[in-house]
Chains A and B, each alone.
Chain A
């Protein structure tokens, strides 16, 4: 696998690890950006990992673009062959699937959808071969997800489920983007889940909402007081399906600023994962359940 490097104007270098999405590509991209960060290269201003690519922004008055490119290329071999062991954390996020707010929004923009006669959940369950919406939700919240990119808008995580490719849930984006999406909606487009950090336009299928803020520019939410964005690339997320009562109770705790998500430190090895996907996931999820 060879990274396709490209200059993005005179201030960016873009590196595409692969055209398609895979955990291996994500890890190579993350290793590259970690290597760039530890190298402390003069003139580098932004280091952004993405799903299967990454981007470095630099000040060409301080470093020649060709010199930076040469430096990045020198890091490629090590990044591609690195053991892909990541010290990270697993975060449990409560999600109220089939909630009334995304349901109402989904009905309001029905004419922009592939299948106006069913809901986003019904449609997604059907095209992914699940007999019922409940089975679909069980698959969605049954296995953990990798934060493979944070962005679009502040704090919005793109999530890639930690299952084999045949089991990846896929769904097209709306035919035309909606002008509204409720805040903290769990959405899905392509093979990625996303959590809308703020209310706004969007094209992903909508499945539910989390009561937990994931971005707080005022930094008043107790678990966002040091860092206004909850998620970083490399985090592992486990959705926990909850009902209306739990949602309301959690929201009350959040309003009183007493609640915080369950977060556990963990180590993830891509080699171990590829050897035994569900065994690796089970061990990760035990960290959450053994609270």
Chain B
């Protein structure tokens, strides 16, 4: 009862909805970077929304099944092929024992979610099956997949033929607008520099992974002059090491902003200019390197309204799938 990994893709790992509660010892929440896609993929195959599935980055794996299951692919547009024949995304389809699932080239977004009925039955560690790669924790042996791995699958009947219509999916726009609540150490940069930060268009840098996304192409920040506080370090971007929120935007040396994501490093000594709002975290998960992006300042009330909109969109999709 397993799925054999014929080829692993670029960076494919087991994820679910994460393990909150351990950030104070440096273990991040983790889980599927695109939460909407994670939940919907599971629901399409009849799983609980938080079942363990595969997150494939930029390039799909090739998998061979040893049992009959139902499969659904959501997230970025990574076209699935079953025994070489194209299959739709955002729709569940049956797979027979001996079938091979592979993928064409990525057409949009950055990460695809591959749900299998029954879920991937790796051991639960600290309440979750998700892989924390940096800490070699959870998932399949604490790492991304390799050729030859055999993933255990839970018992389930599954249901095929369910699909989520386009109007119920999240739209991805270019350039991406990442809404952000300015704050934390915002006061460390000059007013002109702060204005420029939002006015300029940045580009996703190649260093973009589960820990965080780096952006480049903008003007370096100008700091308000001060004598550095004791223990902070000498660079004007240094602070006495503090916690890093998920979505926080740190700017080491004031040059390239880094937005921390689901596998965030939990703290460190770089000033942050604010935090990307929770409603836009999924959006980041689907950004490819070199994609233009802008940071857009919002107030807390707007962040909460956007979160409510996101929750409502998810509820509509879930209601549709529940029939």
User: CB within 8 Å of B: which residues of A?
Assistant: 6-12, 14, 16, 18-22, 33, 45-55, 57, 60-61, 65, 149-156, 158, 160, 165, 168, 170, 172-173, 189-192, 197-198, 200, 215, 217, 228-229, 231-233
Contact = CB atoms under 8 A, between A and B. Distances in A.
A155 B26 contact: yes
Nearest to B234: A172
B229 A50 contact: no
A61 B265 CA distance: 25
B230 A11 contact: no
B242 interface: yes
Contacts of A156: 26
B307 A21 contact: no
Given A8-B183, A45-B21, A217-B136, A51 B233 contact: no
13 contacts: A9-B180, A11-B246, A14-B245, A19-B239, A46-B24, A57-B245, A150-B25, A151-B23, A151-B26, A151-B243, A172-B233, A173-B269, A217-B135
A21 B240 contact: yes
Nearest to B183: A6
Given A10-B303, A45-B20, A154-B135, A51 B231 contact: yes
Given A153-B134, A154-B26, A165-B230, A50 B245 contact: no
Contact of A150 (B24, B265, B279): B24
Contact of A151 (B25, B248, B272, B304): B25
Given A60-B307, A154-B26, A55 B245 contact: yes
B267 interface: yes
Contacts of B246: 9, 11-12, 57
Contacts of B180: 9
Given A10-B300, A53-B242, A47 B24 contact: yes
By Cβ-Cβ distance, the 7 closest A-B pairs, closest first, are A21-B231, A9-B275, A55-B243, A8-B245, A151-B266, A20-B229, A154-B135
A200 B272 CA distance: 23
A183 B181 CA distance: 37
B309 to A, nearest CB: 12
Contacts of A189: 233, 269
B321 interface: no
A211 B233 CA distance: 29
Contacts of A173: 233, 269
Nearest to A215: B135
B25 A229 contact: yes
Contacts of A198: 134-136
B265 A153 contact: yes
Given A10-B278, A151-B265, A54 B137 contact: no
Given A154-B137, A190-B269, A191-B230, A149 B304 contact: no
Contacts of A51: 231, 240-242
A51 B246 CA distance: 19
B278 A154 contact: no
B137 A217 contact: yes
B142 interface: yes
Contact of B243 (A7, A14, A21, A168): A14
Given A9-B276, A229-B26, A149 B241 contact: yes
A11 B20 CA distance: 13
Contacts of A165: 230
A150 B26 contact: yes
B26 A19 contact: no
A51 B307 CA distance: 31
B184 interface: yes
A45 B19 CA distance: 10
B233 A152 contact: no
B192 to A, nearest CB: 22
Interface string B207-249: 0000000000000000000000111111000111111011110
A190 B240 contact: yes
A151 to B, nearest CB: 4
Contacts of B138: 217
B209 to A, nearest CB: 13
Given A11-B278, A48-B243, A154 B304 contact: no
